[in-house]
Amino acid sequence: MTRTNIMLSKQDLDDRILVQEHFAQEHLPSQMGSAEIEQYKEKIRRLLAEKDACLVAHYYTDDLIQQLADETGGCVSDSLEMARFGAKHPASTLIVAGVRFMGETAKILSPEKRILMPTLEATCSLDIGCPADEFAAFCDQYPDHEVVVYANTSAAVKARADWVVTSSIALQVVEHLSDQGKKIIWAPDKHLGEYVQKQTGAEMILWDGSCIVHEEFKAKGVLDLKQVYPDAAVLVHPESPDSVVQIADAVGSTSQLIKAAQEMPNETFIVATDRGIFYKMQQAAPGKRLLEAPTGGSGATCRSCAHCPWMAMNGLDNILAALENGADEIHVDDELREQALKPLQRMLEFQAN
């Protein structure tokens, strides 16, 4: 197992995070009063109907956005299910509350639809840490490898891949390829890649990317919290460091962690993923106590504090603006879209079988 270094410097990435965090403060619905929130929601409901639009939201967006998506017949899910739901929905316009690669994935699967986002500035550290040209050059060094990329990538990176996977299907796909004797290039999340490699024994070369939210979880902090809540089960997303994964009672994708909270007998859960998941997790497991896994303490930088700063850029105000003016529209070049669709379809067909 080997890795390549990303070309984006840590300082560049840190600077981008600080800028995005600053912008995110303008879009926090929690700063609104209840009357103002209801005014925004009513306007959004009306415009969704008038403009033949549907709101799809990621698990990591604000509770108010997830609630509104549910109330208006939309969808709250992971990035792939958001795109699949949108493709099946009869609406001609999709409002994608999440980050940019999610809007791109929706456009790849639904080229005939208009895809709008609350802001095109909302991106992802995994996406920006895997520039398409640098990744393509890296892949060219290993022509005998199958290229498997995580959904958290740009359309251009997907277009260079043989497979696109989500965290819920990554193990099955890689195991399938490994059983065929194939060597694998994995991008962009190194922690998820290490988890998949350990579980499958596949021969993998890993791109050196990471999620700024999950990378901040620390095993010591989780173990310290376990001292306070000894009966708590630890739920961990595999984008987290291996030291955190090793102490988990359940490891899985967002949907899998929600299911674990629902089905496991524990009354308390320490959750190592973005705290936005608590909205749907609490619905699935009412009465159970959900605790954020710590990101503070020795060795932690708390650039995210268990919440993605780019997800926080989605708000009721800019959802309304997207419906009113349609400025933040996703466009994907036709040729690029066709290339990016191939590895997505390959995953969907594999999943169906």
Residue 227: C-alpha distances to residues 220, 221, 222, 232, 297 (Å): 11, 10, 9, 9, 16
Between CA 51 and CA 322 the distance in angstroms is 11
In a domain, 301, yes or no: no
C-beta atoms surrounding 73 within 10 Å: 12
Q: Nearest to residue 292, comparing CAs of 242, 209, 228?
A: 228
Between CA 201 and CA 187 the distance in angstroms is 17
Which tokens is 151 given?
């959904």
Residue 79 is predicted with a pLDDT of 86
Residue 304 is predicted with a pLDDT of 46
| CATH code for the domain of 86 | 3.40.50.10800
Query: Does residue 345 share a domain with residue 313?
Result: no
Query: Does residue 249 share a domain with residue 148?
Result: no
Query: Does residue 264 share a domain with residue 321?
Result: no
Residue 205 is predicted with a pLDDT of 98
Query: Does residue 121 share a domain with residue 14?
Result: yes
C-beta atoms surrounding 185 within 10 Å: 23
Between CA 196 and CA 324 the distance in angstroms is 43
pLDDT tens for each residue of the chain, 353 residues long: 444 433 444 444 554 454 344 344 444 445 788 999 999 999 999 999 999 999 999 999 999 999 999 999 999 999 888 988 999 999 999 999 999 999 999 999 999 999 999 999 999 999 999 999 999 999 999 999 999 999 999 999 999 999 999 999 999 999 999 999 999 999 999 999 999 999 999 999 999 999 999 999 999 999 999 999 999 999 999 999 999 999 999 999 999 999 999 999 999 999 999 999 999 999 999 999 999 998 865 444 444 478 999 999 999 999 999 999 998 999 999 999 999 999 999 999 998 88
In a domain, 298, yes or no: no
Residue 353 is predicted with a pLDDT of 84
In a domain, 14, yes or no: yes
Query: Does residue 321 share a domain with residue 220?
Result: no
pTM: 0.88
pLDDT tens across 276-293, in order?
A: 999 999 999 999 999 999
Query: Does residue 106 share a domain with residue 36?
Result: yes
In a domain, 331, yes or no: yes
C-beta atoms surrounding 118 within 10 Å: 28
Query: Does residue 121 share a domain with residue 131?
Result: no
Residue 18 is predicted with a pLDDT of 45
- Which structural domain range is residue 26 located in? 10-125+309-335
Q: Nearest to residue 55, comparing CAs of 92, 85, 97?
A: 97
Domain count along the chain: 3
In a domain, 108, yes or no: yes
Q: What pairing do the DSSP bridges indicate for beta strands 93-97 and 75-77?
A: unpaired
Query: Does residue 158 share a domain with residue 108?
Result: no
Task: Name 350's Cβ contacts closer than 8 Å, sequence gap at least 6.
Answer: 169, 172, 173, 176
Query: Does residue 171 share a domain with residue 228?
Result: no
Query: Does residue 118 share a domain with residue 33?
Result: yes
Torsion angle defined by CA atoms of residues 216, 244, 61 and 171, in that order, rounded to the nearest 10 degrees: 130
Tell me the three state secondary structure of residue 176: helix
Question: Residue 38, class by beta-carbon neighbours within 10 Å (0-12 exposed, 13-18 middle, 19+ buried)?
Answer: exposed
Task: Provide the terminal-to-terminal Cα distance of the chain, rounded to the nearest Å.
Answer: 29
Paired strand residues for 290: 269
In a domain, 18, yes or no: yes
pLDDT tens across 23-39, in order?
A: 444 444 457 889 999 99
Query: Any idea what DSSP says for residue 23?
Result: H
Query: Does residue 73 share a domain with residue 146?
Result: no
In a domain, 253, yes or no: yes
In a domain, 99, yes or no: yes
Query: Does residue 264 share a domain with residue 223?
Result: yes
